[in-house]
Structure 1
Amino acid sequence: MSPPTGQALRILVVEDHAPLRAQIVEVLQAAGWRVEEASDGRLGLQLALEQPPDVLLLDLGLPGLDGLQVCQRLRQQADRHIPVLMLTARDSLADKGQGFAAGADDYLLKPFSGEELLWRCQALSRRGELGRSPLLERGPLQIDRRSAEVRIEGQVLPTLPRQAYRLLLALAEAHPRTLSRSELQHTLWADERPESDALRSHLYTLRQALGPAQGLVKTVHSVGLRLDLPA
């Protein structure tokens, strides 16, 4: 098997069948790629959100959260597009339709060859690069969605905690609109129910990180939050 050429990719494999997962990891590592793995949907989703991979290999039938649920939550919660390759033994049009509707980018039917796996991963990684958004600029604020780097008037801020970053990104993308509390909660937690003061806590963390520029995030009484930028 001839491994593809090009940059070393970082792949997350979420597969509950240990022998198959080990086989996939072996193939990917033999190609010189970095691999992380998870055996259930909840851990897989957590890893994908914390350290977004170049490609996510996602089994459809997982314990905890199944592949469809993981994919749906990933699309709701991730701050960038993560290419998803669904791994499944189900070959019906209805099953594929459900996967694509949940946000999958491609399907690979079990059993599959290692060579096909490598080529599909490489193709999806290129698609992910093309689909990533450019630098987002709002007045003195700059956000690089690819690296999650935030600058204020050209000065790089210390790395923000994930939820504080996602809160700032949501406000920047929505500017000049005010986002309601319910909209922000959905952005940060989708259909999960956060603790009652969780949003306030992340807002406090964000404002502390912004330092002298914390006035950029304005509370609109009884409405929500928005960026307050000079005209």
Structure 2
Amino acid sequence: MLTVLLVEDDRDLADTVIQYLELENIRCDYASNGIAGLELVSQNHYDALLLDLNLPRLDGLAVCQRVRASGDDTPVLMLTARDKISDKLLGFDAGTDDYLVKPFAIQELVVRVRALAKRRSGQVRMLSCGDLQMDLTTKTLTRQGLPIKLSPTCWTLLETLLRASPSVVSRQQLEQALWGDEIPDSNSLKVHLFHLRKAIDMPFDTPLLHTIARQGFAIKADNG
């Protein structure tokens, strides 16, 4: 069963959405203001967040920005009565993944929720594993608070691994992320992985970049 959070101050609309989602086997938590919504996000795992734009205490844009700043990659669907392209651009800048303009058909909401729940958001701006932190907004990387410099290729390599962390990423997936269909010689990935490991692991006690035999590579805080 999917679990979503609805943050909406219109209680009548919220009741309608919650009841319909439950009929579709989607469990829905509810908050009537932005602060309460953030509290629930910090306490629970959700497959998607449904955020009204005009919320008391903290509006939907601010909620979305704080969710993304914390490194949370839960997909966000923004619900709003504003249909101007400028308003939508503000939402995407804040980190939302999709927009649904009020009034909307509940069936369309369900379709979009199911589609969003199949993936994690690409809008997250902070990626981390253990004491390693990658800030995609400022393009900075630190470990134990110390700055680390990477080449553009190693940055893309690490970002791909961190987005999947702690899952394994295959050699083919990494090569596709780095070079698309024009993959260079077979040693190129090995060389870049060496330089990445040298930058993020060698100066520190605990390795984060692991080679998983016959599977690929993973960024994770332990070797288990």
TM-score (norm 2): 0.58
Q: For 1:28, which of 12, 21, 36 is the aligned residue?
A: 21
Separation in structure 2 between the aligned mates of residue 52 and residue 9 of structure 1, nearest angstrom: 10
Q: For 2:70, which of 77, 80, 85 is the aligned residue?
A: 77
Q: How many residues align?
A: 144
Deviations 1:72-96 (A, max 9, x none): 0000114x41000000000001100
Task: Assess if the C-alpha contact under 8 Å between 1:55 and 1:85 holds in 2.
Answer: yes
Separation in structure 1 between the aligned mates of residue 145 and residue 45 of structure 2, nearest angstrom: 26
Write the letter of the residue equivalent to 2:110.
L
Deviations 1:129-164 (A, max 9, x none): 8x6xxxxxxxxxxxxxxxxxxxxxxxxxxxxxxxxx
Separation in structure 1 between the aligned mates of residue 106 and residue 119 of structure 2, nearest angstrom: 20
Give unpaired runs (5+ residues) of structure 2.
Answer: 135-140, 147-202, 209-224
Partner of 1:42: 35
Query: Alpha-carbon deviation of 1:35?
Result: 1.1
Separation in structure 1 between the aligned mates of residue 79 and residue 88 of structure 2, nearest angstrom: 11
Separation in structure 1 between the aligned mates of residue 89 and residue 142 of structure 2, nearest angstrom: 36
Partner of 1:228: 205
Question: Once superposed, what is the RMSD of the aligned Cα atoms?
Answer: 2.8
Partner of 1:93: 85
Partner of 1:186: none
Write the letter of the residue equivalent to 2:206.
L
Matched-pair identity in %: 44
Partner of 2:188: none
Partner of 1:178: 144
Separation in structure 2 between the aligned mates of residue 120 and residue 230 of structure 1, nearest angstrom: 39
Q: Secondary structure at the match of 1:127?
A: coil
Give the 3 Å change call, closer, same or farther, for CA 118–230 of structure 1 in structure 2. closer
Provide runs of 4+ in structure 1 moved above 4 Å.
173-176
Write the letter of the residue equivalent to 1:101.
D
Partner of 2:60: 67
Separation in structure 2 between the aligned mates of residue 100 and residue 230 of structure 1, nearest angstrom: 35
Task: Assess if the C-alpha contact under 8 Å between 1:12 and 1:53 holds in 2.
Answer: yes
Bigger share in helix: 1
Query: Alpha-carbon deviation of 1:176?
Result: 7.5
Separation in structure 1 between the aligned mates of residue 3 and residue 129 of structure 2, nearest angstrom: 24
Partner of 1:116: 108
Task: Assess if the C-alpha contact under 8 Å between 2:51 and 2:78 holds in 1.
Answer: yes
TM-score (norm 1): 0.56
Task: Assess if the C-alpha contact under 8 Å between 1:55 and 1:82 holds in 2.
Answer: yes
Separation in structure 2 between the aligned mates of residue 68 and residue 173 of structure 1, nearest angstrom: 24
Establish whether residue 126 from structure 1 lines up as the match of residue 126 from structure 2: no
